[in-house]
Chain A
Amino acid sequence: EIVLTQSPDTLSLSPGERAILSCKTSQSISSTSLAWYQHRPGQAPRLLIYGASTRATGIPDRFSGSGSGTDFTLIIRRLEAKDSAVYYCQQYGSSAWTFGQGTKVEIK
């Protein structure tokens, strides 16, 4: 089983700042199999990025993904209050999904 480890566990930033979230996989994966989700309390998870770097429909360009192999990054620019959420990376192999433990982004 591929394990995804996210860091940091929590980020506390001010509006307008930039958030950098990391996701490391226990073995190399295809970048086509890596996604990022935003999960606000009381709401369904929202797909942000798939294929490591492609924004999902309707996602603003403040969100960007990159990486390959075992190291992937989500950057959120110009943070807004509504970006307060837990962010998960996910790998979607041929037979199963696995999620990282999540990074909580707090807006001061």
Chain B
Amino acid sequence: DVQLVESGGGLVKPGGSLRLSCGGSGFNLTRYSVNWVRQPPGKGLEWVSSISGSSLYIYYADSVRGRFTISRDNARNSVFLQMDGLRPEDTALYYCSTSGGDSWGQGTLVTVSS
């Protein structure tokens, strides 16, 4: 079964760090650009970051630029989101998705609270 699987979410204090992972199960993720999208509680979808298959092209939303770093390890068929300097407004369900939008994970919850 082809799917994306996110992991790494949890509860962290403001200013703390988390590293999210997105793995491709049943397909070769290296062929795809991958995006991170988040949904704060009770709000809509917000794009966070994207990375091309070769890691040559990397983009961030203004709200996370300078604090979040996207990367990938094609040998491990995985994409990562290193989140530093976390703020309460980063609290959200974080999804990874392929570039065409046709494959999504179920999300991993990040809660930033003291």
Chain B interface size range: 20 to 34
B contacts, CB < 8 Å to A? 35, 37, 44-47, 50, 57, 59, 61-62, 95, 97, 99-102, 104-107
Asked whether B50 lies within 8 Å of A45 as measured between CB atoms, the reply is no
User: CA A100 – CA B47 in complex, angstroms?
Assistant: 11
CB pair B102 A102 closer than 8 Å: no
The answer, among B35, B44, B105, for a CB contact under 8 Å with A97, is B35
**Closest residue to B60 on the A side, CB-wise?**
A96
Given A86-B44, A97-B47, also A56-B105 (CB < 8 A):
no
B-side interface mostly: loop
Chain A interface size range: 20 to 34
Residues of chain A touching chain B, judged by Cβ–Cβ distance below 8 Å, are 1, 35, 37, 39, 43-47, 50, 56-57, 86, 88, 90, 92, 95-102
Quick one: which of B45, B105, B107 has the most chain A CB within 10 A? B45
In the bound complex, residues from chain B placing their C-beta under 8 Å from that of A47 are 100-102
Query: In the complex, which residue of chain A has the Cβ closest to the Cβ of B47?
Result: A97
Q: Taking the nearest CB of chain B, how far is it from the CB of A63, in angstroms?
A: 15
